[in-house]
Amino acid sequence: MSWSWLSVSSLVTRSALKPPVTRLYPIERRTPYAKTRGHILFVVDNCNFCTICAHKCPTRAIVANKKEKTWAIDHSLCILCGNCVEDCREGCITLSDQPCPPMRAKEVLQFRKEHDTPSA
Ligand code: SF4
Ligand code: SF4
């Protein structure tokens, strides 16, 4: 029995006994690091359609229309700079630490505010 065969067999044995170095994705997912920029989340309820977020977006991923009371985002254009999150005074936009769900085609998410919240 040669030394090289012994060293290979010990390597194989050690590898077989070690736990796997990869995760069983998607069942087992890595916990995001702190401040991970995943994707933009938007809640229309408090939006006043001031369009500041759209003007501050460097890639024009956001389109807001005050007259139509609509807000839309194209996640394929978003570079997750966070400008819109910082500049929205109403707190409608947040950054999720989870990655954007996969898209099979270019998709623009549209939101429309049907009714203004009655003032107290
Ligand atoms: S999300 Fe915020 S910044 Fe953008 S239009 Fe609505 S209120 Fe204005
Ligand atoms: S994070 Fe930056 S690129 Fe993405 S929508 Fe907001 S302003 Fe635009």
Q: What is the mean pLDDT of residues 76-81?
A: 96
Q: Which two tokens stand for residue 35?
A: 């401040």
Q: Does domain 31-112 have CATH number 3.30.70.3270?
A: yes
Residue 120 has pLDDT above 70, yes or no: no
The pLDDT tens digits for 3-46 are: 788 888 999 999 999 988 899 988 998 899 988 999 999 999 99
Which percentage of the chain shows pLDDT scores above 70? 94
Q: What is the mean pLDDT of residues 46-53?
A: 97
Nearest-ligand number for the alpha carbon of 84: 2
Phi, psi of 18 (to 5 degrees): -75, 150
Please list the residues that pair with 39 across neighbouring strands: 96
Q: Is the CB of 54 under 6 A from ligand 2?
A: no
Between 115 and 63, name the one with better pLDDT: 63
Model confidence, pTM: 0.78
Residue 82 Cα to ligand 2 midpoint, Å, equals: 6
Provide residues with CB under 6 Å of ligand 1. 47-53, 64, 71, 87-88, 90, 92-93
The pLDDT tens digits for 59-71 are: 999 999 999 999 9
Q: Is 82 within 8 Å of 95 (Cβ atoms)?
A: yes
Residue 119 has pLDDT above 60, yes or no: no
Q: What is the pLDDT of residue 20?
A: 86
Domain boundaries, the chain: 31-112
Q: What is the pLDDT of residue 103?
A: 84
